[in-house]
Chain A
Amino acid sequence: MTIDRKKIIEEMSKVKILGNEEGMIPVFGVYVQQLPAAIWNGFARRMINSVPEHLVPAAEELLINAAHECGYHTGHGIITSEEFKTVVGPMLEKMPEDVLHGAFAVFTAWGWAKSEVTELIPNQKMVVRAYDYYESDIISYGKTNRPAAFMITGVSGAFMDLAYGGPYDPKGKTGIYTFKCQQTKGIEMGDDYGEFVVTRNQA
């Protein structure tokens, strides 16, 4: 069996998450919240617009890093969850490549980005395309001259860490940052889709 994206998206998009009596959502080994996309875009834009030009790459890197850590820990929680095992588990044949394809189907189902892996060289490189994502909504203020999908960039790198970076480290001291991701296209820049290229981190 190969990864059935349509089925995964259909099943995983139905997962209902609401705060418990303490207003908390403890799932997948982390606390989760479900906030309007506008708050994340709003803060990222304000930060990028407030720093001098020479510090823009550094500010972007910090936003990407937040997503990289989030993707590493939450991603691990997702791919080891009962929901993932139930829905995606029976489709897994080639490891860890099928897990990566499945993870991006979940990524899509949860509303992070309508995305898929379009190229994968095991242990070396992955290319992801995103055809719709909330970070591109900033185009409503006009096209950007730099890529701005910091969340997808960070999480894509983290997913390759989980696949090929060695055993998961809950403290995030090893295993994470073995890959880095560069966004090469973006809807927010006027492209038809976002493109993200993940390669081994040589640093």
Chain B
Amino acid sequence: MSQEKKIEFEVDRRFDPVKSRHFLNGVCTVLHCHHYATLYSQLALDAVNFNGADHLVEASEDTFYEVLNSYYLNKGATTAEEKVEIARQYWQAVGMGLIQFTGVGKFEILAEMEYSHLDEGWLKKWGGSKKPVNLFTVGFVAAVAALVNEKPVRSFRVTETKSLVCGDEKSEFKGVAA
């Protein structure tokens, strides 16, 4: 009888008392609130003439590509199933919400969020939006899509197609190979 392998994202937290910095699995992290995240997002979305949204998506994709790739290498996670499950648990652990990867393929990736730090924060702060606003997760999904397919960053173009801030029941993200 085969036994199902349980995939668990391991959390190793450390505080460096000399530099006063926190590390999560060796990565310097910082606590910030929804005001900070939503105002950064608003700034990115408003800066249309300066590609603000692209800057935030790319900062997100680059950061999480490196964080997840390092973790996968360290823990020997090689299959698509392992990688998306670790990514899901990571997003949950750091307080970004509950993400489910509903379709992961060579040319396409689909994900949805029932709970989202950015969207809940936006709703709490401003009440809603006509357009999706979760650029952090767009970048995160792009990073996961690239890593699952063992491709570099910018290999997938991700769009948020439904959004909690727009009144949808779930946020949805669709990525296609670039």
Contacts and interface: CB of A to CB of B under 8 A. Distances in A.
A37 interface: yes
Contacts of B33: 28, 30-33, 70, 73-74
Interface of B: 11, 13, 15, 17, 19-22, 24, 27-37, 39-40, 43-44, 47, 50-52, 55-56, 58-60, 62-64, 66-67, 91-99, 114-115, 117, 120-121, 124, 136
Given A9-B17, A33-B94, A33-B117, A47 B52 contact: yes
Contacts of A112: 30-31
Interface in A38-65: 38-40, 42-43, 46-47, 50-51, 59, 62-63, 65
Given A19-B93, A23-B91, A62 B30 contact: no
Given A69-B39, A111-B20, A113-B20, A31 B117 contact: yes
A109 interface: yes
A70 B56 contact: no
Interface residues of A, number: 52
Given A50-B52, A59-B47, 15 more contacts: A10-B17, A13-B17, A13-B20, A16-B13, A31-B95, A31-B120, A32-B95, A33-B32, A33-B37, A38-B27, A38-B62, A40-B32, A66-B40, A111-B21, A114-B19
Interface of A: 9-10, 13-14, 16-19, 21-25, 28, 30-40, 42-43, 46-47, 50-51, 59, 62-63, 65-67, 69-70, 73-74, 108-114, 132, 134, 137, 151
A38 to B, nearest CB: 5
Contacts of B120: 24, 31
Query: Which 9 pairs from chain A and chain B are nearest by CB?
Result: A42-B59, A66-B39, A25-B95, A23-B92, A46-B55, A114-B20, A70-B36, A111-B22, A30-B33
B147 to A, nearest CB: 16
Contact of B30 (A42, A108, A111): A111
A40 B24 CA distance: 16
A40 B39 contact: no
A47 B43 contact: yes
Given A9-B20, A18-B11, A43 B29 contact: no
Contact of A65 (B39, B52, B56): B39
A33 B50 contact: no
Nearest to A43: B59
A74 B35 contact: yes
Given A23-B99, A114-B20, A31 B55 contact: no
B28 A37 contact: yes
B67 A70 contact: no
Given A31-B120, A42-B59, A23 B97 contact: yes
